[in-house]
Amino acid sequence: EGTAPSHPTKDGCIFCKIVKGEAPKFMLYENDHVMAFLDIRPLHQGHCLVIPKGHYENLDETPAEIAGECAKIIPRLTRTLKSVTGTKGLNLMVNSGVVAGQEVFHLHFHLIPRSEGDSLSD
């Protein structure tokens, strides 16, 4: 009988709390390495985040294998989000580092469904 892999965590990280089940989320996908859930401050309906379960602050600290595990689920999530929201496109974004606008320092990929004429600003 196998056990789930151990993942690095960081105290106080909201995404680590979500991974450990200590904070609420609306789960869309989960496996041993990654999870996807709806963003609590969505830019558009269906805006979700894909995160590694291990704590890696940004892209350059993330092992290639872990980034690859995140990337593997993005095409399927994209198809599902477009189908459910009725949108025709999607932005895939990563804010890696303070100057790039990163606010939560646990790597996360934004999947943001888009419609004709909408905007990414408030």
Residues identified as active-site: 108
Task: State the Cα–Cα distance between residues 54 and 58, nearest whole angstrom.
Answer: 12
Beta bridge partners of 37: 27, 49
What order of strands is seen across the sheet that includes strand 27-30?
Answer: 27-30, 34-38, 48-52, 109-114, 89-93
